[in-house]
């Protein structure tokens, strides 16, 4: 294997698996702390909105123009809305009809939706990190470090609600790990399968669609549950903090 490809794969793997650091942080916090959970979910909503509007959509605008990128954004939003509407919300034997009377089931659903959003976002992120590292190792390192930083709160956001809902550290860690491992999977597929077929326009559609998906998860899943756990200004404060952290981490890439 070419040494440059190997370096790129290692960098992408380390960046993706930094979600496990966040997972351990999420598992160390007491399950009975609703204000912490509210903070984590609001923070993660800010992170997702930041990624969508300051990273993914601008990339789509650059490659596709405003109209096409906006259509892809709306398509991604509608896609995850349809999934949320028509697929029964039955996770680990827990049914949606009891969800309103059981906050833990809301948290489980929120954690799993967050894992889905993080995983789908991490796939093209892994592709982009790998491609950057192939072109220039220094740029690849800078991007990998920045991505690792913003993957940590994503790991917390996946593991903490699942742990709170199920009481299982193994399940919480597993979902967090799986959402992160998608990133090196994206890199491997790029290296050995997709590289000849990719072009900037296709990536633009993918990134814009993912932006729509993540905005839906932030406003329909994360913020409502965050507000239900802390009836104060904590959800919006944590949202602003998450947004600021994500903007800062993205600035490290530029």
pLDDT in tens, 114-153: 888 888 878 877 887 787 677 667 767 766 776 776 688 7
At residue 70 the predicted structure's pLDDT band, cuts being 50, 70 and 90, is: very high
- The rounded distance, in Å, linking the Cα atoms of 101 and 195 is 48
Name the average pLDDT for the chain.
81
**52 contact partners, CB below 8 Å, separation of at least 6:** 210, 211, 212, 214, 215, 218
**Mean pLDDT calculated for residue range 28-39:** 74
Q: Which of 5-9, 37-41, 94-98, 133-137 has the highest mean pLDDT?
A: 5-9
How many structural domains does the chain have?
1
Does residue 68 carry a pLDDT above 90? yes
Does residue 231 carry a pLDDT above 90? no
Range of the domain at 230: 3-253
**Mean pLDDT calculated for residue range 103-123:** 81
Q: Which residues of 42-72 are buried (b: 16+ CB within 10 A; e: fewer)?
A: bbbbbbbbbbbbebbbbbbbebbeeebbbbb
**pLDDT recorded at residue 165:** 85
**pLDDT recorded at residue 101:** 53
**pLDDT recorded at residue 228:** 84
Higher pLDDT, 143 or 64: 64
> What pTM does this model have?
0.66
Q: What percent of the chain stands above pLDDT 70?
A: 86
Does residue 226 carry a pLDDT above 80? yes
Which residues partner with 94 through β-bridges?
91
Does residue 35 carry a pLDDT above 50? yes
**pLDDT recorded at residue 240:** 96
């Amino acid at each position: 294997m070419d040494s440059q490809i190997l370096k790129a794969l290692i960098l992408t793997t380390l960046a993706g698996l930094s979600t496990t650091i966040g997972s351990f942080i999420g598992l160390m916090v007491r399950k009975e702390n609703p204000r912490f959970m509210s903070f984590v979910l609001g923070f993660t909503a800010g992170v997702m909105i930041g990624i969508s509007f300051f990273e993914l959509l601008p990339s789509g605008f650059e490659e596709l123009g405003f109209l096409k990128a906006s259509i892809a954004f709306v398509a991604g939003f509608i896609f995850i809305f349809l999934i949320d509407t028509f697929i029964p919300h039955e996770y680990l034997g827990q049914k949606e009809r009891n969800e309103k009377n059981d906050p833990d089931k809301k948290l489980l659903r929120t954690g799993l939706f967050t894992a889905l959003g993080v995983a789908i976002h991490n796939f093209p992120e892994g592709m982009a990190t790998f491609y950057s590292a192939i072109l220039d190792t220094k740029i690849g390192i800078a991007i990998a470090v920045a991505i690792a930083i913003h993957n940590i709160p994503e790991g917390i956001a996946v593991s903490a609600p699942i742990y709170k809902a199920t009481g299982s550290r193994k399940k919480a860690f597993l979902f967090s790990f799986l959402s992160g491992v998608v990133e090196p999977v994206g890199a491997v597929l790029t290296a050995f399968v997709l590289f000849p077929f990719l072009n900037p326009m296709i990536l633009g559609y993918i990134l814009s669609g993912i932006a729509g998906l993540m905005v839906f998860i932030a406003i329909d899943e994360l913020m409502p549950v965050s507000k239900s756990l802390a009836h104060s200004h904590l959800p919006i404060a944590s949202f602003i903090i998450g947004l600021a952290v994500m903007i800062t981490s993205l600035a490290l890439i530029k």
